[in-house]
Amino acid sequence: MADLRTDFIGIKSPNPFWLASAPPTDKEYNVVRAFKAGWGGVVWKTLGEDPAVVNVNGPRYGAIHGKDRQLIGLNNIELITDRPLEINLQEIKRVKRDWPDRALVVSLMVPCEEQNWIDILKRVEETEADGVELNFGCPHGMSERGMGSAVGQVPEYIEMVTRWVKKHSRMPCIVKLTPNITDVRKPARAAKEGGADAVSLINTINSIMGVDLDEMAPSPSVDGKGAHGGYCGPAVKPIALNMVAEIARDPETHGLPISGIGGVTEWKDAAEFMALGAGSVQVCTAAMTYGFKVVEDMIEGLSDWMDRKGYTSVDQFIGSAVPNVSDWQFLNLNYIAKAKIDQDLCIKCGRCHIACEDTSHQAITSMVNGERRFEVIDEECVGCNLCVNVCPVENCITMEPMAAGSIDPRTKKPVEKDYANWTTHPNNPMAVKDAAE
């Protein structure tokens, strides 16, 4: 069995699966249950200053469901811990003492004054927790009070607070980033500049889950009114993957350890985050949907996959996909693929045809020699992959690359064997004219 042990900025855990700072890590009872279930670590739900915040007493969560009530996306308006600081600290100390092999990181959020950070860091250090995570991410509630994402949206504040934390504490420091910005590289660079040991992302996304059309109010509503909440769960994974990759491949932050968060539901999601550079992953929605037991197959599935691939430790594939994340301008324009429909697998639903006919390139038949039959018209196919995505049968439609030297029936031109991209394309006014030299 592959070795899943993880050393993330010096914080060791038996596996890379941590529970994110969120409701599942609000107190000793839950965290101990999580550790018993096998979770490698937790980021304790964000601590703030006393007096503790209060939460609404109506709905805190809303969801997007599939037709069979599969939970696709979740949002919340819960604030940071609403329990007294001292109780949390006592519990953290006890849990760390009882579970020394697990990662225990403490999430923090206090006002942007140096003394406030000095005070809380001192108390957290006494718990012997493994590190701190600075919550610059939560988009709801606390941001209205100048904390959470209000800090995460201003790189200068991130750098300033991170610097205080590193100055006043010996603990490893993870900066948790908000996705509610236009370019995630800027806050990541600021975190690094401030001395952060790592970043974690993404926190939740500003969202309204729906509108109750009878009440004419956002849903869920608290006494008829709703406020935007933080969106998470499987639906946000693509956004999170992109942001992780952006930081991993940015020359200024390349190599900065990343804890990947956002829709990790099964082992494969974790492997994908790790391939894009995450050294650990944090999970919340999957646990909130199914309970802590989900970690069992995360561990087993990742390990089995590593065995199949011949990886013996996680470092062997962390970041492996980063070099293949490119900019559009560098994609090979001489690579030509055509859709191909496997007629034995085709169930003749016709979705590929109508998608192509109505919305794309009119490159799929619906009738051949008077029979219902769906075939790709190579003369029209631009290789866009839409048919592959709308086909209900897996692997029925595949994208087949054309061999160099063959003639593309659409352009009537031979497929070039050499790589060429937009930067040198004749249609590009900014093209590098003498690329060969």
Partner 1 sequence: MIANLPEIDMTQTKAGPDIAAGRLHQDAYAENFSDLHPLLETHEAQVEADRCYFCYDAPCMQACPTSIDIPQFIRQISTGNPDGSAKTIFEQNILGGMCARVCPTETLCEQVCVREVAEGKPVKIGQLQRYATDHYMSGHDETPFTRAASTGKKVAVVGAGPAGLSCAHRLAVHGHDVTLFDARDKAGGLNEYGIASYKSVDNFAAREVEFILTIGGIDLNTGMRLGDNLDLAELRATHDAVFLAIGLGGVNALGKDNESRGGVLNAVDYISDIRQADDLGRLPVGRHVVVIGGGMTAVDIAVQKKLLGAEDVTIVYRRDQDRMNASKFEQDLAQTSGVKILTNAQPHALSVEDGHISSIELERTTTGEDGSLQGTGEILSLRADMVFKAVGQTLVQDDLDASLSLEKGRIVVGADRRTNLGDVWAGGDCVLGGEDLTVTAVEDGKVAAESINAALSA
Q: Which residues of the shown chain bind partner 1 in the complex (CB under 8 A)?
A: 66-69, 347-351, 353-354, 366, 372, 392-393
DSSP state of 3: B
In angstroms, the CA 349 to CA 429 distance is 44
* CB closer to partner 1, 36 vs 348: 348
Q: What are the b/e assignments for 216-249, b being 16+ CB within 10 Å?
A: eebebbeeeebebbbbbbbbbbebbbbbbbbbbb
In angstroms, the CA 129 to CA 225 distance is 39
* CB closer to partner 1, 358 vs 418: 358
Q: How many residues does the chain have?
A: 437
Residue 88 Cα distances to 47, 95, 370, angstroms = 8, 10, 73
In angstroms, the CA 146 to CA 203 distance is 16
Task: Show Cβ contacts of residue 316 under 8 Å, excluding neighbours closer than 6 positions.
Answer: none
Structure tokens at 203: 């926190």
- H or E stretch including 105? strand 103-108
In angstroms, the CA 208 to CA 216 distance is 13
Shortest Cβ 68–partner 1 spacing (Å): 5
* CB closer to partner 1, 125 vs 357: 357
Listed residue (324, 424, 297) closest to 15, CA to CA: 297
Exposed, middle or buried, 109 (CB in 10 Å: 0-12/13-18/19+)?
buried
* CB closer to partner 1, 225 vs 372: 372
* CB closer to partner 1, 189 vs 353: 353
Shortest Cβ 366–partner 1 spacing (Å): 6
* CB closer to partner 1, 12 vs 351: 351
Shortest Cβ 392–partner 1 spacing (Å): 5
* CB closer to partner 1, 323 vs 392: 392
Strand partners, 17: 281
Is 138 noted as a catalytic residue in this protein? yes
In angstroms, the CA 139 to CA 137 distance is 6
Shortest Cβ 207–partner 1 spacing (Å): 21
Task: Show Cβ contacts of residue 11 under 8 Å, excluding neighbours closer than 6 positions.
Answer: 41, 103, 105, 130, 131, 172
In angstroms, the CA 355 to CA 361 distance is 9
Choosing from 112, 138, 173, 232, the catalytic residue is 138
Shortest Cβ 337–partner 1 spacing (Å): 24
In angstroms, the CA 264 to CA 16 distance is 12
Helices (H), 38-179: 85-98, 114-125, 149-152, 155-168
* CB closer to partner 1, 214 vs 437: 214
Q: Any idea which residues carry the catalytic annotation?
A: 138
